[in-house]
Structure 1
Amino acid sequence: MNPTKFIGREEELATFNELLKKKTSTLMVIKGRRRIGKTSLIEKFAEGKPFLRFVGLAPVDGVTAQSQRDEFARLLAEQTDLPQIETDDWSQLFALLGQFVKQGRHIILFDEITWMAERDPTFLSKLKNAWELYYKQNPQLILVLCSSISAWVEEHILSSTGYFGRIAKKITLKELPLRCCNDLLDAVGFKRSVHEKFMMLSLTGGVPWYIELIEPKRSAFENINELCFNEDGILVDEHRYIFHDLFGKRSAVYEKITEYLANGAAEYSAIADGISYASSGTLTSYLSELIESGYVRQTMSWSIKTGKPTKTACYRLADNYLRFYYKYIQPKLDLIKNGQYKNIAIGSLPGMNSMLGFQFEALVINNADLLHQILHLRPEEITISSPYYQTATKQRQGCQIDYLIQTRLNTLFVCEIKFSSSPLTTKVIQEVEEKIKRMATPKNFTCVPILIHVNGVSDEVLDADYFYRIVDFADLLTTK
């Protein structure tokens, strides 16, 4: 991996820096999916300041509650002048830490707190007591609780009566915006064409750790081969770490859901049928955890007439790596592991253009605020925006809009997000015209077609002057 400078996260760093101005202690939570840069962000903030980091052990076979306590004790002794003690009680460890951070500026990180607490039901209550007795008493102390399992944090800390009124700040870390992805690609030395940058981001999404794996001297295809189809490729086994490390014994259901959604967006009932799982509160809980963790996105259909959401929800895979894994790595995993799938022709993989279409949509939708900015739409002007699904009835046809923006002044920006390996032809105009024709558009509403593309448009498309705005992927990479 290439050593790189820290890119992006300006808002989050500003939030942290505001905490330094407080005259009271701070207990805060930072959550977000695996590899998203939570630890790097906190380490960046803590540069030049007294900093203690405690990391939970991944819940693999053999790791017990005592293993977690022993690891905490080891890290405490390693980072301070305190002795390494043996104890079966978290209260003693928290009290010992409390002695060390009694006075002066201290930033403490409990990294992967979910793992620390998993096998000891008393952990969180004892931590709460330690906060009240020791850490809270130091007005210059900041304690950060960090986890990759966002739903666990939501249930056991943010929504817990024990921690009610104690959490002063919450940050949910999401994928880097495309402009920061572009800056990070430049920082690692990958200064290739917009198309090659798109190919890399179609695999990595805005996950900084994945982007930092890119070798600048190699082409996009060479990098994808090395990372995904070499027997020692870093991303060959990443799927296993995502599910087994994060979700443990329940990982099989999460895998089924995400694998099903790799083929396209689906409603709740379709997911239940597709994975042969009873439609129940348990399935709802699984979906909620995937949404909280950033792997799945939920979008609500809405009534254009009222501008209000309906009860129909649609779920889509939000993670580009997982879609690529299910489509191309998983089916050939044995061959890859045996070194028999090296140096394949990436462009000739079956269904590649279709898959890249999904990836392009995900990149654009994850960066919808940049699109709004390019279209000069302020947040207060927008009533609602999302991928839009219109179900078929006896009175109307069904249709699907890649991304629809409804404004307060009754304008509907119909966004077509189109990947093509060659410049788009006037066929795209016909497709958008048909979608708009099918839409049940109320009176006094105007549809404005927008095209977002990655590999250019033909002169015929430009000459037709049909689209209000044609947005190049390069625009999304460079919009600040």
Structure 2
Amino acid sequence: MDGAFLGREEELRHMEEVYEKKSFQFIAVKGRRRVGKTTLIQKFMENKKGVYFSARGISTEDNIRMLSAKLFGDEQATENIDVLLKGIFEMSKNERFVLAIDEYPRLCRKDNDVSDAFQQYIDENKNSSKLYLILSGSSMSMVEHEIIGESSPLYGRYTEQIDVTPFSYFEAREFLPHYTEDEKMRIFDMVGGMPGYLIRFQEYDNLIDPLVKEFLRRDAYFRNESRNILLQEFVKPDSYHQVLTAIANGYTTLGAIASKARMTPSLADRYVGHLISLKFIERLTPVDNPNGKTTRYRISDPYLMFFHRHILPTAGDSDDERLRAEANRILESQTSELGYTFETVSMQYLGKIWGGDAGTWWGDDSLTKTTREIDVVMTRETENGFEEGLFVECKYKNEKIGIDVLDRLIYNSELVRRYQRKSYAICSKSGFTENLEKKEGVLLLTLEDMVDGWSGKDTRRPGIRSRSTRC
């Protein structure tokens, strides 16, 4: 498989199917910067008649002139959007032609007439055109405003929308073949499933060097990437950095976030809402009280989590010896934090083999007067219309997991006021004791099981070995 194009077969197949329709098609492609939109579009355009154009941060007129020059040649270049669009629809009247405009919001951010013109020409020509139009952008808020949102002149005009999302752990690890499984998990904890981030680890054969050169140095790529991400979405990113820093350091309720970030709860609520809309953070509630006031927030983007917890507090030293010592300290600290990332990995796998929606649970135990928690709760509806819950404990430790973990999981599940049917699973980095292995009625998965099951190496049902389960 092409190493530069890994894991986007489903999106590519969908784009090809739409291409075969021959009629006018308008594909809106959205996704974070470095998630692989450009690679996907350019791969799709191979061996097809068309033009790819990436809009720049220059004037609208200059962008239009550059695009028209690519389409019609320098002598017929124009700054007039109407002349440009008339020519595009004319050349695609009798044959399929692909026009991909990457970073489209840059083209029209200073001129609302551009999207109005696109709307007009699409409405007038869509029934007689064979144009395959692709508009994409990296600023999620601007894509919403300029392409897919109700306030956009183009709202309702696109025929397909493709969301290019980060890879799962099982897809991301394919970028890192020369690392150990534990190192792959650590890298996923650092940068998640973003292809543009993962490839930066490919030239290294350890974790210290990329931490020093890519994260900790004053001019390191990942030291500046967080600010670039937020600047792309917000005019004043500093307050959002404060909110993210608070959450990354364990302040997970709205009141605690507001206090740590030194802002009013109402202001913190507004910033949190914006970050949720961009999928940088997520709102958590217990699965048996989803609409209640018991709420926690956590950073759902691994890179932003890792950066605000470990990199932002450092000074950006220039002395490599001190930076290597700092990198070792970070790796040591990270060891105790990989459990949450392993929960995410387990959710991804169980979502594939078991289905349903992933959530979590915490609540009070009146008997012991303590707060109990369950790492992962998967919810699905059975054929009979009942709700089934799969209660999951995840342990990323260098030791086998014993039957006491299952007993505690079952006890905690009895406190959950939901579900007509309950099943149990335990995910472990290092396997299980003999007593737990013999236990029936529980799904036991090692990380190796999940990796093999995802890739299809196990010829039996993915991830389920010879144990009695209720899956």
TM-score by structure 1 length?
0.80
Match of 1:215 in 2: 202
Whether 1:469 aligns to 2:454 is no
CA contact (8 A) 2:105 2:146 kept: no
Contact 1:303 1:310 (C-alpha < 8 Å) held by counterparts: no
The 8 Å contact of residues 353 and 419 in structure 1, kept in 2 or not, is answered as: no
Contact 2:401–2:432 (Cα < 8 Å) also in 1 = yes
Question: 1:291 is matched with which residue?
Answer: 276
In structure 2, relative to structure 1, the CA distance for the partners of 1:139 and 1:394 (3 Å cut) is: farther
Q: What residue identity is the alignment partner of 1:258?
A: L
- 1:273-295 deviation per Cα after TM superposition (whole angstroms, max 9, x unaligned): 44344445x76664454334332
Conserved? CA contact 2:34–2:197, under 8 Å: yes
1:406 is the counterpart of 2:406? no
- 8 Å CA contact 1:110, 1:144 repeated in 2: yes
Residues 387-417 of structure 1 show CA distances to partners (whole Å, capped at 9, x for unaligned) of 2243689997543322102344554322122
Q: 1:443 to 1:312 in 2, by over 3 A?
A: closer
146, 156, 165: which one aligns with 2:156: 165
Change (3 A) 1:469 1:266: same
Give the secondary structure class of the aligned counterpart of 2:135.
strand
> Separation in 2 of the partners of 1:122 and 1:393?
63
Change in CA separation of 1:176 and 1:129 when aligned onto 2, cut-off 3 Å? same
Report the Cα offset of residue 48 of structure 1: 0.6
Separation in 2, partners of 1:86, 1:391? 68
Q: For residues 184 and 351 of structure 1, do their structure 2 counterparts lie closer, same or farther at Cα, with a shift above 3 Å needed?
A: closer
- Please state if 1:43 is matched with 2:33: no
Q: % of aligned pairs identical?
A: 21
2:399 is matched with which residue? 423
The superposition leaves residues 48-102 of structure 1 with CA deviations (integer Å, 9 ceiling, x where unpaired) of 11232232334xxxx5xxx233033224314542536464x54344345445444
Match of 1:260 among 236, 246, 250: 246
Number of the residue aligned with 1:385: 358
Of 228, 237, 241 in structure 2, the residue corresponding to residue 251 of structure 1 is 237
Amino acid at match of 1:228: F
SS in 1 for 2:6: coil
Q: Residues of 2 paired with 1:277 and 1:461: CA distance?
A: 52
Q: 1:157 to 1:79 in 2, by over 3 A?
A: closer
> Does residue 192 in structure 1 map to residue 198 in structure 2?
no
Pair 1:226 & 2:213 matched: yes
Q: Distance between the aligned counterparts of 2:275 and 2:241, measured in 1?
A: 10
SS in 1 for 2:222: coil
In the other structure, the counterpart of 1:174 is: 165
In structure 2, C-alpha distance between the alignment counterparts of 1:131 and 1:443, rounded to whole Å? 50
Q: Is the 8 A contact 2:27 2:160 kept in 1?
A: yes
Q: Give the corresponding residue for 1:331.
A: 313
Give how far 1:149 is off: 2.6
Q: Which of structures 1 and 2 has the larger relative contact order (alpha carbons within 8 angstroms, sep 6+)?
A: 1
* Residues 21-36 of structure 1 aligned to structure 2 (within 5 Å): 21-36=20-35
Residue number in structure 1 paired with 2:191: 204
Task: Kindly indicate whether the alpha-carbon contact (under 8 Å) linking 1:101 and 1:138 is maintained by their aligned counterparts in 2.
Answer: no
For residues 443 and 288 of structure 1, the distance between their equivalents in structure 2, rounded to whole angstroms, comes to: 28
Does 1:450 pair with 2:425? yes
CA shift at 1:355, angstroms? 3.1
Question: Retained in 2: the 8 A contact 1:191–1:216?
Answer: no
User: Which of the residues 303, 313, 321 maps onto 2:288?
Assistant: 303
How many Å apart are 1:19 and its aligned residue?
A: 0.9
Count residues with an aligned counterpart.
447
Aligned to 1:142: 132
Quote the offset at 1:169 in angstroms.
Answer: 0.8
Equivalent position of 2:464 in the other structure: none
2:109 is the alignment partner of 1:118: yes
With over 3 angstroms needed to count, the CA separation of the structure-2 counterparts of 1:48 and 1:432, relative to structure 1, is: farther
Tell me, in whole angstroms, the C-alpha distance in 2 between the residues paired with 1:84 and 1:363.
53
Greater shift after overlay, 201-210 or 292-301?
Answer: 292-301
- What are structure 2's unaligned runs of at least 5 residues? 456-471
- For the Cα contact (< 8 Å) 2:243–2:268, is it kept in 1? no
2:322 matches 1:348: no
> How far off is 1:257 after superposition?
2.8
Taking a change above 3 Å as real, the CA distance of residues 320 and 341 of structure 1, as seen in their structure-2 partners, is: farther
5+ residue gaps, structure 1, are none
How many angstroms apart in 2 are the aligned matches of 1:361 and 1:227? 26
Q: Quick check: 1:432–1:449 contact (8 Å CA) kept in 2?
A: no
User: Do residues 433 (structure 1) and 424 (structure 2) align?
Assistant: no
Q: Which amino acid aligns with 1:371?
A: L
Native 8 Å contact 1:150 1:289 kept in 2: no
Query: Per-residue deviation at 1:433?
Result: 0.9
Secondary structure, aligned partner of 1:116: helix
1:371 equivalent in structure 2: 350
State the shift of 1:12 in Å: 1.3
Corresponding residue for residue 76 of structure 1: 68
In structure 2, C-alpha distance between the alignment counterparts of 1:414 and 1:160, rounded to whole Å: 39
- Asked if the contact 2:78/2:84 (under 8 Å) is kept, the reply is no
